[in-house]
Structure formats: structure tokens, C-alpha cells
Structure 1
Amino acid sequence: MGCNPLFITSINSGSNGNCYYVGNAQEAVLIDAGISCRETEKRMLRLGLSMGKVKAIFISHEHGDHIRGLTVMAKKYRIPVYITPGTIGNSKLELPEDLINSFFSHQVVQIGSLQITCFPKIHDAAEPHSFMVSCGEINVGVFTDLGIVCEQLTLHFKQCDAAFLEANYDEDLLHHGNYPYYLKKRISDGFGHLSNKQALELFTTSRPAKLTHLLLSHLSKDNNNPVLVENLFKEHAQDTMIVVASRDMETPLFTIGGSSGSSVEISPLTDSTPLVQYS
């Protein structure tokens, strides 16, 4: 299937909100919608991206920093939402029934020429999932909110041309920081978040030769340092571009599978482009 390249950006990444964009020249999906619809619109507009191109939103789990902007966005643009029964059951979302689409573990959902593989992850939520978005032979992984590096994560990471990978905390900063004990335990007990060390081990032991971009994601404001983690990964990066996804703004738009560069111009579809729901 000749649909390369893919375009990716982190619209926001962190405990204050998560939203990731993956698409080709015709259609795109959002993984999570954790910041306001208005702020998502502003950031996409700065990148030359149209909401009319977004054909689906996939929700990883029910925590507020992943769903905060979902209801307004889905209703405003009539975007189908792909979400597990357990996730919607444990959320307070008020979504129109006709926009709700259930997915299940290991299901591949077809959205136009994009295939979204949904697989389970370990996190303290009802039915948490990670995603790999594919078009032809190009694969982009969205891997955040991870308690541990499990077999499924490793399997899918090894297939990626690019990935958003959680590097939430530095172990020393967390240990010596001001968080109460119960919160430190929640973060690091195997059901919370991935440390820099755990993420780096996955990167160094399972990195595919074709991995061109690694976007380090969901960094803790208090227990990590962007310069520290960027330098840590760059020591082992070889030909992989290392980018730290911001808690406060969008990253550039990266091209995956075409000419590699920090930003590109693509022809956005207008918001009047017909929205087709795919099963």
C-alpha cells in the first residue's frame, strides 16, 4: 500500500494533558485528547493541520490528562471515538452514542488507509491500551503511561519507524523529591510510569534499525529534567533523532518514511471534508 509518508507531532505531553497526532496526506488520528479543544485547535493550526483531517480519536485510558478535551472536540467535529467498554465505564464522559466505537485488545482498526493496532499495557486504569499506527510498511508507536516494559510493548517497539515513548521520571529525583511516599510508590510500583532508565533499556536493547525518530514523552514536571533525559538518550541515539515532547507546546511536525526533517508542509483538508466512519 503506497501511502507514505506519515506525519507526527506531540500536541501536548505530560500530566497536564496528552494528545498525539499521526496521519498521512489524506487522514489522521489523534491518540488521546487531554487538553482543551480550543488549545488543540490553536496548536494544530500553527502546524498547518486541519481538524477536518482527523477521522478518529483513540483513547488509551480514562485518566483526566488523556480525556479532558474529548467530549467538546468529538461533539464539535463529529469525530468517532474509539474506546474500550471498561474505559468509558470508568470515565465520566458524556459522548453521543453514535460517536462511540468499542475496540478490544489486539484489534486492528482501519481508518481510511491507516491501521491502528490496539494492545494492552500495564497501568493503573481499567483497560489501558497502547497503539501502533501503520500505513503501508511505516509504523508509529504511541507508548506512554507504562508501569513496566512488558512483552507486548517490546514486540511492537521493535516494529517502529518512530515512537512516542514515556520517560516519566529520573529515579534519583523521584526518590529525593518532595512527593509523599504513597505517590512515589504509585509512580514506580510497576503500575504507574516508566523511568528514564527503563525507557533507555528498551531503546538500547530493542531498537529497530529503521527507527528514525524517538519522542520522549510524558515527562514529570517535578521528577525529571528535559536536558538530563535528552542527553541520556543522545549518548545512545546513533542515527535516531531524539526529541523531548513538551508539557507546554506542540513539537514540530515530523516526517516519517519520507525525507526526514523537523517540519514539513502538507496540504490540509478543509473542515468541510466529508467525515467517514470506519469500523
Structure 2
Amino acid sequence: MPVFIASLNSGSNGNCYYIGNEREAILVDAGISCRETEKRMARLGLSIKKIKAIFISHEHSDHIRGLAVLSRKYSLPVYVTEGTARYCGEIPPEFCIQLKSYAPVNIGSLHITAFPKHHDAIEPHSFMISSGEIRIGVFTDIGAPCEHLIRHFNQCHAAFLEANYDEEMLRNGRYPFFLKRRITGGKGHLSNEQALKLFVDHRAEYLSHLLLAHLSKDNNDPELALRLFEQQAGTTLVRVASRYQESEVYCIDPEITSVTDKPVINQITGQFQFVLS
């Protein structure tokens, strides 16, 4: 069964990622408003009724801004660590489920594992989502690659991977010194160069899609980042997840060797169809 992924928004103004199969789906983070989440999913032809849970990576506002309203409106369980939950606003207690490192969670036929990462938050986690043999990683807000990240990235068929800043742009940019040090200090964000090294050194030969995520508005350039990765991409389709709009929906299916990156929606069935290149 194929897996469908999309970025609904990616950046310091809000983060929200969709991962699902034909039966059920989850959101990782809910950093845009409930209304905007609904609008973007509708434009993509994704049914919000398929969303069965929300998983929260950490408590920063760009990851939880729409969480409380979205959870209440659709009665969605929220998987979040105990420490993070204290900073996530008014989540109804009956919808709040404790998340623990490496304790697998099953949502229908989706299997989700959270693991710790380096970031200046209470209990920050990244996620690996699997459906059958297909594995999707959501790896953003990472100060530095660690053994947890490397081991999971190496297993991915597709991944959202942070490429937050270009080192030269940040060094010569307008940010004050303390903020530059926070970003580069090991618990901030991953640079283009760090993300590229992870991609080149540790990607699986079957990694079909890479979405560059959480790009800085001031210290990065989407075209620069994309060009950098495409030079090393090989057979991997690389795209930038925008901070202004939703991405396309991408079909992850190891049995399909080549596929266009723009889905076609069957107007009769409402199902996504992907045309072989």
C-alpha cells in the first residue's frame, strides 16, 4: 500500500506535515491555524476525516499554534511527551496521550516511533512513520546530527529534512550574535551543509523523495538549497517545503520506479492518480 506525504507549511511561521495511506493519516505538528490546515488539505484533495492523530515534536509556537483548536474540533488524540504537554495550551485531557522515546504507537496500519533529537526545547523528538515496508522520516529542528538521526535517516524511503540556513548568509546577516550562536550552537538548527552531508553519507539507495524543510526566511534561499542538493540527488526527487503554501502530495511506493511529482485527482473517485514518467 503506498504512502502519501505533504507539507502543509514549513518554517518559523508554522510547521505541519501530513503522512498517510489509503485508510488513515496523521499530522506531525500543528503549527498553522485549524482553518488554514483545513483549507490547505482541501486544496490538495486530502480528507481531514482520515486524520486519526496529531504527533507533537516540541512546544515551540511554530509547531503547536493550531493544535488546541484542531484537536477539539475533530476529537483528535494528541501524542506528546509529558514535559512538552505542559506548554501546549488547552488540549482536552481526554485527547492527550503520553509519548515516550522508542515506545511505538500504532494508528491503524501506521506505526510511529519517536526518538530524541538535539534542540533547545523541553523534550524534543523526531519521528519515523512506517506503513508496511515503507518508512517516512520527519527530521526538523535539529541542532546537530546524532546517532539516532543517522540510524533512522538511513532507513527512509522518503523524509522531511531540515535545511534551515546557509552558513555564509547567517554569518554575514543581520541577526544579533546571541541568536546566531543559538542557531549554530548544537541545539538550534541544521545548516544546508550539515543536512547535505547527512544526505550524501547516510541515505538509503531506495530514498525516493527528500523534502527540504524549515528553511529560514532570512538566512537561506530555496533555490540555493535546492541546487546544492540536486547536484548530489541521483535518483532522489528533492523539493523544498515552502513557508508560504502547501506542497504537492507525493506518492511513496517502492514498486513504482519513476513517477511525476504532480498528482492528478480523479474527479469521479476523488482518489489520487500518479502517472508513470
Report whether the alignment pairs 1:73 with 2:39.
Answer: no
The residue aligned with 2:275 is none
For residue 97 of structure 1, what is the aligned residue in structure 2?
93
Which amino acid is the alignment partner of residue 186 of structure 2? Answer: G
* 1:30-81, Cα deviation, whole Å (9 max, x unpaired): 0000000101110000110111100000000000000000000000000110
CA distance in 1, matches of 2:262, 2:157: 17
Residue 55 of structure 1 aligns with an amino acid whose one-letter code is K
What's 1:58 paired with?
Answer: 55
Q: Is the contact made by 1:255 and 1:261 (CA closer than 8 Å) also made in structure 2?
A: no
1:167 alignment partner in structure 2: 163
Map 1:20-169 to 2 at 5 A: 20-89=17-86, 91-169=87-165
Report the equivalent of 1:6: 3
Aligned residues: 265
State the distance in 2 between where 1:261 and 1:193 align.
Answer: 31
Q: Could you tell me how far apart the structure 2 residues matched to 1:247 and 1:221 are?
A: 8
What displacement does 1:92 show? 4.5
Of 197, 202, 205, 2:193 maps to: 197
The runs of 4+ residues in structure 1 deviating greater than 2 Å are 258-261, 263-269
For the residue of structure 2 that corresponds to 1:179, the secondary structure is coil
**Structure 2 vs 1, CA of residues 113 and 92 (structure 1 numbering), >3 Å: closer, same or farther?**
closer
Instruction: Verify the 8 A CA contact 1:167 1:195 in the aligned structure 2.
Output: yes
Alpha-carbon distance in structure 2 between the residues aligned to 1:268 and 1:189: 46
Q: Which residue of the other structure, out of 209, 216, 237, is the alignment partner of 2:233?
A: 237
- Whether 1:211 and 2:207 are equivalent positions in the alignment is yes
Q: 1:262, CA displacement in angstroms? A: 1.6
Deviations 1:207-262 (A, max 9, x none): 10000000000000000000000000000000000100000000000000154332
TM-score (normalised: structure 1): 0.93
Consecutive unaligned residues of structure 1, counting only runs of 5 or more, are 270-279
CA–CA separation in structure 1 for the residues paired with 2:199 and 2:8 = 23
The one-letter code sitting in structure 2 at the alignment partner of 1:200 is: L
Looking at structure 1, the residues matched to 242 and 260 of structure 2 have their Cα atoms a distance apart, in angstroms, of: 18
